[in-house]
Structure 1
Amino acid sequence: MKAICATDLSAASEATIENETCLECLDRIGVEEIHLVTVIPSNVHAGMPGIDFEDRRKQALTRYRRVIENAGFDAKAHVVRGTPHRRINGIADAIGASLTVIGSRGKSPLENRVIGSTARNLARTTVVPLLVNRIERGADEPDVLREHLFRRMLYATDFSENAERAFETFSYLRHATREVTLVHVETPKDPSLPEDANPEARLSELATELENWGIETRTAVRHGDPADEILAAEDEYEPTTILVGSRGHSRLRRLLLGSVSEDIVARANGNVMLVPPSRTA
C-alpha cells in the first residue's frame, strides 16, 4: 500500500512525520511506501531575492525521508509547484496511493471553523481516503493529539453507498483497530432511511462483521443535526479517529448547506478519515 504524506514543512506537518507511533500505525494497516509531497505556490519564484524555497524544501524532505526509511518504509520525495490540493491529488492519482495523510492544527480558539486551507480543500476534493491528523495548537514544538491513529474508531454512517465504501476500509484498518463505535444520526431535514427501516438492526449487522474480526463494538442511534451529533459522539466516546464517507445521500443539500464531512474536519477534536466516492462513480 502506498501513502501520500503532504507537508508544508511547518511544525504541524513535521509532528506527524516524526511521530513513531503514527508511523507504526501506518505500518500495521499495510502501508509500505510513503511519498512525501510539498508544493511550492505558483507565485513563489526561485529568482526572488534572498529566497530559495525549492532548495530549502528539498533539504527538509531529505531529513524527513531518512526518518521514514529508518522506520522501515520505502520513501520518495516530490517537490512540485502549483496549487497544493490539486498537485497532491494529482500525485496520489498518478502513483495509485491508497491514503493521503495531512497534519492540521484544527479549529482556532477564536474561530470555530478555521482549518488550514490545504486540509480544507483536500477534504472537498480528495481522490483517495484522506486522514487529517490533528496537531496541538499554540505550541512551539507541537505533537499529534491522538497518536494511535486507528485504535478507537468512530464510524458515522447514513447507510449510503459511500458510507458503505468507508466501512470497507476496515478490511485493512482492522489490523490496528481495537474498538469501534458505530453511529447513525436520524434527522427530519434529510431522512436517509425509509420510515419502516430499522437503523439499530443495520448497525447491529455491521457490528457483527467487526466482532468477527475480534474488534470490540458499540452502536448508537442519535437524533438531530448530523455534524453536531457526530461531534457530540466524539466527545462522549473519545475515539482516536472519526471515519466517514465524504459524500452522503443528498448532493443538493451538500451544495446548499455545506458538507457534513467538511464540518467534521473543521470542528473535530481528534483525527478524521474521509473516504471519497469511487473514482468511477
Structure 2
Amino acid sequence: MFTTALVALDQSPAAPATLARLTDLSTWGIKKVILAHVVRVSYNQFAAYDHGENYREWLERCAKPLKKAGLEVTVCVRISGLVADELLAIAGEFDADLLLVGSRAHSRASTLFLGSVARDLIRKTTLSLFLEWVAPDAEDTGTEGAPPVTPALNQVLLATDLSRYASGAENLIRELSTEATRIDLLTVLTPDGLINTPALPVMAAAALNHIRDYLPGKPEQISVLTPKGSPAETIVRIASERDATLIIIGKHGQGWLESKLIGTTATEVCEAAQRPVLIAPLKKGE
C-alpha cells in the first residue's frame, strides 16, 4: 500500500497531531518516515541558516518516539523560497509514496484553514497526500503529548465523479478496504449533469455498485450514495452526517493550468471538511 511517508512539519500546534497520525498510518504499511521542514528564505539568508539548525534539533526530538515505535526515521531540513517544491523534491529523493501534512484553522469561526504550502502541495503533487485536520483550539503539547487519533479507516467516504481522474482514489479504496470498518461510496449528481444525462442517477448507482462488488475487503457496512447538489458542499455535508473519519478524493487535472481550472473540488473539500482528507492523484497507466 504505502511504505515511506514524508511528513511536513513546522513548530505549530498542528505538529503533535500530525505526528500522532503516524501510529495509525503504520497499519497501512508505513515503515520509513522522513520528518522534513523547509525554512523559507527571507531577506536575511544567514539568519535562515542559523534557524535551520534549531529546526533540525526539534525534528530529532520529534523522531525519538517514532524510532521507539519501530519506525525508520530520517530528519531533513532545507532552505528554499519555494517550500512546496522543496518538499516534493525531498519526497523524490527518498522515494516517498505518501505525503502527510497537518493544517489548522486560525479560529473556531474559520472554515478555511489551508495555507499556501498545503494548496501548492495539493496542486503539484503526483503522490497521495494525507491532510490531517487539526482543531483550531488545539494546543502545542510537544513532541510526545498528542492524544491518540481516531483510526482513519473507521468510517471512510470515497468521493468520486466516476471520471478517469478519479481512478486513483477508486484504486486506493480497493487497497484500503481490507482494513476499513465501514465505507461510503459517493457520487454527487450535479444539476447540469442531471439535465444533460437524465439517466445519470441509474448510471451513477450502477457504477458505484460495481466498485462495491469489487472491493476485496469485507467491511461491516458498505453504502452507495448518490445525493444531488454541488460537489464540494455535498461531500462535506455527507461526511459530517456520516461522521466520516477519512475522505478519499481524486485530484483532477494533471498540469498547472488544468489544476487551476478544474482541480478545485479537492481543495474546497480540504478547506471545509474539518476531518482528514486523502487526495489520490491519477497515476501513470491508470
TM-score range, shorter chain: 0.7 to 0.9
> Counterparts of 2:88 and 2:24 in 1: how far apart (Å)?
23
Q: Partner residue of 2:27?
A: 28
How much has 1:116 moved relative to structure 2? Answer: 2.4
Give the TM-score, by structure 1 length: 0.87
- 1:15 maps to a residue whose letter is A
Determine which of 60, 63, 73 is the counterpart of 2:58.
60
Determine which of 170, 176, 181 is the counterpart of 1:167.
170
Q: Deviations over 1:165-202 (max 9, x none)?
A: 11111344234311110100111345799554511111
Q: Deviations over 1:99-132 (max 9, x none)?
A: 1001111474344324222222212222200000
Q: Partner residue of 2:182?
A: 179
> Counterparts of 2:125 and 2:245 in 1: how far apart (Å)?
21
Q: Deviations over 1:224-271 (max 9, x none)?
A: 10001101101110111100001179x989645760110001011200
How much has 1:162 moved relative to structure 2? Answer: 2.2
Unaligned runs of 5+ in 2: none
Do the aligned partners of residues 257 and 248 (structure 1) sit closer, same or farther apart at CA in structure 2, a change above 3 Å counting? closer
- 1:230 maps to a residue whose letter is I
How much has 1:41 moved relative to structure 2? Answer: 0.5
Q: Partner residue of 2:16?
A: 14
CA contact (8 A) 2:127 2:280 kept: yes
1:117-196 counterparts in 2 under 5 A? 117-141=116-140, 147-189=150-192, 195-196=198-199
> Counterparts of 2:194 and 2:283 in 1: how far apart (Å)?
23
CA contact (8 A) 1:29 1:175 kept: no
Do the aligned partners of residues 199 and 121 (structure 1) sit closer, same or farther apart at CA in structure 2, a change above 3 Å counting? same
CA contact (8 A) 1:5 1:100 kept: yes
Do the aligned partners of residues 279 and 65 (structure 1) sit closer, same or farther apart at CA in structure 2, a change above 3 Å counting? farther
> Counterparts of 1:99 and 1:34 in 2: how far apart (Å)?
10
Do the aligned partners of residues 44 and 100 (structure 1) sit closer, same or farther apart at CA in structure 2, a change above 3 Å counting? farther
Determine which of 239, 248, 258 is the counterpart of 1:243.
248
> Counterparts of 2:174 and 2:195 in 1: how far apart (Å)?
25
> Counterparts of 2:78 and 2:47 in 1: how far apart (Å)?
17
Specify the SS of the correspondent of 2:271: helix
Q: What is the aligned-residue RMSD (CA, Å)?
A: 2.9
Identity %: 24
Q: Partner residue of 1:85?
A: 84
> Counterparts of 2:73 and 2:194 in 1: how far apart (Å)?
45
How much has 1:141 moved relative to structure 2? Answer: 3.4
> Counterparts of 1:204 and 1:192 in 2: how far apart (Å)?
23
> Counterparts of 1:192 and 1:2 in 2: how far apart (Å)?
44
Give aligned pairs, total. Answer: 275
- 1:119 maps to a residue whose letter is A
Unaligned runs of 5+ in 1: none
